[in-house]
Amino acid sequence: MKDKTALFVNAEIAVLAKRFYNDYFWHHTRAYAIFEWMTRNVRYDEEKLHRIEAGGNPPMRGPRETLEERKGVCIEQAYLYTSIARAANLEAGIVDVLKTRDGKREHACSSVKLWGDIYYVDPAYETFAIKHRKVRRMSDLEVEEYFHTMNKRELPPFLTKTLSDEPTPTGIILKTWKRKLVTAAFVATSLYGTGVYTGIKVKQIEQRCRWREAQSAKDLEKSLETYLECVEREIKKDF
């Protein structure tokens, strides 16, 4: 089955992230442990790179596929690192590398926020806190638009309405103060690493955690915060 989004968390990623969350209390050690695990377990897909350089346009893997196949090009590895990191309660995102440390172009890596600063994590270069020459942090909306374009699919309207068009390390930030639909399924999958939550479980969570109508930006912020806290509490009951 093909991944439907670039930043996707299924049961395997959730279990893996939970292990890092439980074993590493400090955020910096957790972020590095995930990076170290990836360098040992996910190899760079040289064959796919050669196909791309030869003018081919192979489908892009999502994080689940990259984990299953244990290989990926730079952006596929970045998808996986970012998905695991977010599921392990780290603020992570995708970075468009305009010029690498050795002068190359068209590259991607991950970012993670530690001690209030942004650090760049590059599994493809096997380097944590890498110093690329020129980078641009991508918004989740940009990430999903690129992923869907490369896979020749249309971006679902739900993602367009929900994801922020501003660079953000966590993801669930709304574009305007107007109330947007954020479901427990999306929160669970995108923020807390529980893609296993579907169907009846999601409906139960949504019944317990209801949105309050927002009339202003301040009201929306408060409503969103309360909603996410409630969803997180419900999810953690099963963790």
Give per-10-residue mean pLDDT for the chain (239 aa). Answer: 74 83 89 96 94 86 93 96 89 93 92 90 95 92 89 74 54 34 47 43 65 56 67 62
pTM above 0.85, yes or no: no
Q: Which domain holds residue 212?
A: 176-236
| Residue 160 maps to a domain | no
Number of domains within the chain: 2
Task: Report the DSSP pairing between strands 107-114 and 117-122.
Answer: antiparallel
Assess whether 23 and 72 both reside in one domain. Answer: yes
Closest CA to 63 of 14, 132, 113: 14
Assess whether 135 and 180 both reside in one domain. Answer: no
Radius of gyration of the chain (CA): 18
| Residue 2 maps to a domain | no
pLDDT at 179: 35
What do you get for the CA distance between the two ends of the chain, in Å? Answer: 26
| Residue 5 maps to a domain | no
| Residue 6 maps to a domain | no
Assess whether 63 and 97 both reside in one domain. Answer: yes
pLDDT at 172: 35
Closest CA to 187 of 201, 177, 176: 201
Assess whether 105 and 192 both reside in one domain. Answer: no
Assess whether 80 and 129 both reside in one domain. Answer: yes
Assess whether 133 and 22 both reside in one domain. Answer: yes
Assess whether 56 and 118 both reside in one domain. Answer: yes
Assess whether 38 and 144 both reside in one domain. Answer: yes
